[in-house]
Amino acid sequence: MKIFKKGLVSKIIVIIIVVVLSTSLILLTKLFFPKFGDPVYGNRLDGIEEVTLDVNRLADIKNTIINQKEVNNAILNIKGTLINIIIDVKVDIDVVTAKTVGTKAVTLFSSAEQNFYDIQVFITQSIETEETQYPLIGYKNKLSPSLVWNNIK
């Protein structure tokens, strides 16, 4: 009878330890990863299905930007509700003209797209000199009517 009780007590202790460790592991996981499994962007992407930009549309916009005489190259990418436009302008282009190119790039998007997406325009020159005022960064929030420019040099 003592052997049976001794075995029963050890089994109960092991079960209690397993339950306590499991509960502790679950609580620590919730403490360190509170939003585990939730979408990265939360609900900020609600409605993105209604204002989609497909690959062909982006290619058309990119080609329109590249076909301007002031532009060497352009890159467009989308992350969530943010559109990044990177435009490399030719060496002899002044800042005012470069900003005009960036503003034209934003106008290539429809008003529905401009009212849903935030748009960033980065304007660079492949060759930098001492007098270069590049890169230029323009930002348009979905609620603002136009780009706001910031020269970081």
- Residue by residue, DSSP assigns 137-148 as EEEE-TTSSS-E
pLDDT band, very low/low/confident/very high, at 49 (cuts 50, 70, 90): confident
For residue 45, give every residue at least 6 positions away whose Cβ sits within 8 Å of its Cβ, in sequence order, or none.
39, 80, 81
pTM here is 0.70
pLDDT of 43 reads: 74
Query: 57-74, pLDDT tens digit by residue?
Result: 999 999 999 999 999 999
Mutual angle of helices 55-66 and 95-107, in 10-degree steps = 150
Query: 108-135, pLDDT tens digit by residue?
Result: 999 999 999 999 999 998 877 666 778 8
For residue 72, give every residue at least 6 positions away whose Cβ sits within 8 Å of its Cβ, in sequence order, or none.
88, 89, 90, 126
